[in-house]
A and B are shown apart, each in its own frame.
Chain A
Amino acid sequence: MSHYPLFFTYRDRIFGNGFLAEVTSHGRILCATEDDERWVYGVEPGGIAATGDNEQAALEAYRQSFTNVLLDLATEAESFDAFRTAALKFFADINRITEDDWKKAVEQVRERAIDLPMKRESADAECYVLVEQKEQPSFSPKDNEPASLEPALAA
């Protein structure tokens, strides 16, 4: 069994009942190989898991699941405020047990027991989620976001 700790930064635009929300999130995930399977477990938020045939596929599945949870919350929300409340609650629901494994994996990174060729970010960095309502006059092509995974190794 191997684990490594990552940060992610996503931006999602979510259409809901009469609103468009932009959700910018910076969270924590734990990548794991268990029984020769690749898994990505959410730490913050903690209520997500995803798997794939390889690490990249598992990360992509996690990314899609994250968006799908936001879409589900938007479907259930009657207003932007209700969606924002639900999204903040979802993000704040930390998986404490997986967080312990994430912290142990960070120690391994710091001890050079884990080293991956990717950008690094201090493991002490704050996680956050911003949920903003977009108004129609403010839309422009520059709001389009290129699809990107680019996780960072927590160190």
Chain B
Amino acid sequence: MLEECAPGYETRQTVHFHVVSYKDKTFSTLPLGKHGARRNPEIEAGYARALARQLEIVDCAKKQLPQIY
């Protein structure tokens, strides 16, 4: 979803979260994943919706992930 909707996005892992930045917006609390940190953890729908709103990519996210809307 991010590749399509937020080209050039940046991500980094902190002690507690995955942090995603796009343009001048940042979402700071994507979970690291159950049972320890993972690069691509399964993300609950609410986090994906909040991420899309914060990065202001909602219209594109709805097309990419219609199942969470």
Q: Is the CB of B15 within 8 A of A50?
A: no
Interface set, chain B 1-58, CB cutoff 8 A to A: 14-17, 19, 24-29, 44-47, 49-51, 53-54, 56, 58
Q: Is the CB of A97 within 8 A of B53?
A: yes
Q: Evaluate contact between B47 and A93: CB separation under 8 angstroms.
A: no
How many of B's residues come within 8 Å of A, CB to CB?
22
Determine if B53 and A39 form an interchain contact, defined as CB atoms under 8 angstroms apart. no
Chain A residues whose C-beta falls within 8 Å of the C-beta of B28 in the assembled complex: 47-48, 69, 72, 90
Chain B CB within 10 Å — which of A37, A48, A68, A72 has the most? A72
Partner of B29, one of A34, A47, A98: A47
Within 8 A of B (CB), among A37-82: 37, 39, 41-42, 46-51, 65, 68-69, 71-72, 75-76
Q: CB within 8 Å of A: which residues of B?
A: 14-17, 19, 24-29, 44-47, 49-51, 53-54, 56, 58
Count A interface residues, CB 8 Å. 26
Measured CB to CB, the closest approach of chain B to A66, in angstroms, equals 9
A120 in the interface, Cβ–Cβ < 8 Å? no
Min CB distance B16 to A, Å, is 4
Which of B26, B45, B51, B58 is in CB contact (< 8 Å) with A93? B26
